[in-house]
Amino acid sequence: MLLFWGVGAYNRLMRLRAEANTAFAALESELSKQVALVRECLPPPEATQPAPLDDEGAFWAGLHGAATQFAVSLAVARSRPLEPDGIAALSAAQDVLAMAWERAERDDAHDLAGPRLPETLTSRRAQIVMQTHAAIEQFDQAVARYNDGIAQFPAVLLAWLFGFKRGRGVRAMAAGALP
């Protein structure tokens, strides 16, 4: 009887971990859209000599740097989506990318030459952010179910025996990371 319980409990823990990994795959797809959007909207680099870094160049360089940091953090988190440190780095990179976008939107209000970002780009980004919020919610719920599963007695004994570690959701690391 104990053997059958152990197999069932182990399978449940594996199913919960798989659900969290699947939820992260959906989240990763949405987060990748943010990186792709930045890469699509970056102005082409000058083929001649580099110009001095003015305010416009600093904005694009900052946005590109934030997107690069975010892409690297996303790649790390992709390999182990339940690793708390990877999710913490991803959340921090998400904060930096969000601040870079907010800078563009804030600076547009004071620019007499017109907005830096076209309205279509701003609305597309807003749509991506909404979809990302939904994917974050699904991932965080899956991580919460996984954490609850490995904390319940007597399954906690199997979790300890087989090395199941608590995961961390995105919002647990950075509440309000997305604008």
Name the nearest CA neighbour of 12 among 119, 159, 136, 141.
159
| Tens-digit pLDDT string for the chain (179 aa) | 888 887 888 889 999 999 999 999 999 999 999 999 988 887 655 533 455 555 667 777 888 889 999 999 999 999 999 999 999 999 999 989 989 888 766 655 555 555 566 677 788 888 999 999 999 999 999 999 999 999 988 888 888 888 889 998 887 644 434 33
Domain boundaries of the chain, sorted by first residue: 21-40+54-173
The span from the CA of 101 to the CA of 40, in Å, is: 14
Tokens representing 174 are 């950075």
Residue 179 confidence (pLDDT): 37
CA distance 7 to 171: 33
- The predicted pLDDT at position 176 comes to 38
DSSP-derived 3-state class of residue 46 = coil
| pTM score, whole prediction | 0.77
Q: What is the pLDDT of residue 49?
A: 40
Q: How far apart are CA 100 and CA 68, in angstroms?
A: 12
**Eight-class DSSP state of 152:** S
